[in-house]
Amino acid sequence: MQEAVELNITAFLNLMVILVPFLLITAVFSRLTVLELNLPSKDAKVEELEKIDLQLELTLRSSGFDIRDTNLGSIRFFARNEQETDWKAFSDVLLEIKSRFPDEDSITLLLEETIDYKTLIQVMDRVRSAQVTNVTSVETVELFPNVSIGDAPPLDGTSEVINTETRPL
């Protein structure tokens, strides 16, 4: 008869003592997220449903800047070249839009591939705030501080024709 050999599991238990807390600490526990939706009631007023939501987009192209609303279409087009841009008229239009929609604080910049970094930064500075000259002082007015950036849709002959006329909001 053979004598039973005693198993030495001390090393295995030491490994488990270290691994179990490590795995518990690094485990990602699922979190429950609740999304609160406010749906209109059955007797909601028609006036509230017809309220215009502004979704402002600024398309930067080498030929110019196109300020538009995704719902209404083109608001204003500014022709430009790489040497000159009419920043005063650009700021005036943004101030007018902000005066009509004071609660709006976001804008989406859609960039053509040929737009350089310097132009992007200049536009972002002018979209976030503008200098307004009063009789005795110069004030900085916040326009659209929440800026999102994306790619401009390609301009081919069939997709869209740039409208250079001003359309009222």
Q: Which pLDDT tens digit goes with each residue over 8-54?
A: 889 999 999 999 988 888 876 666 666 555 655 665 555 554 566 77
pLDDT at 166 over 80: no
71/42: higher pLDDT: 71
- Identify the band that residue 131 occupies on the pLDDT scale cut at 50, 70 and 90: confident
- Per-residue pLDDT at 15: 92
Q: What is the pTM of this model?
A: 0.58
Domains and CATH numbers, the chain: 53-151 (3.30.420)
pLDDT at 160 over 80: no
- Per-residue pLDDT at 63: 82
- Per-residue pLDDT at 10: 92
HEC string for the chain:
CCCCCCCCCHHHHHHHHHHHHHHHHHCCCCCCCCCCCCCCCCCCCHHHHCCCCCCEEEEECCCEEEEEECCCEEEEEEECCCCCCCHHHHHHHHHHHHHHCCCCCEEEEEECCCCCHHHHHHHHHHHHEEEEECCCCEEEEECCCEEEEEECCCCCCCCCCCCCCCCCC
**Mean pLDDT of the region 59-82:** 83
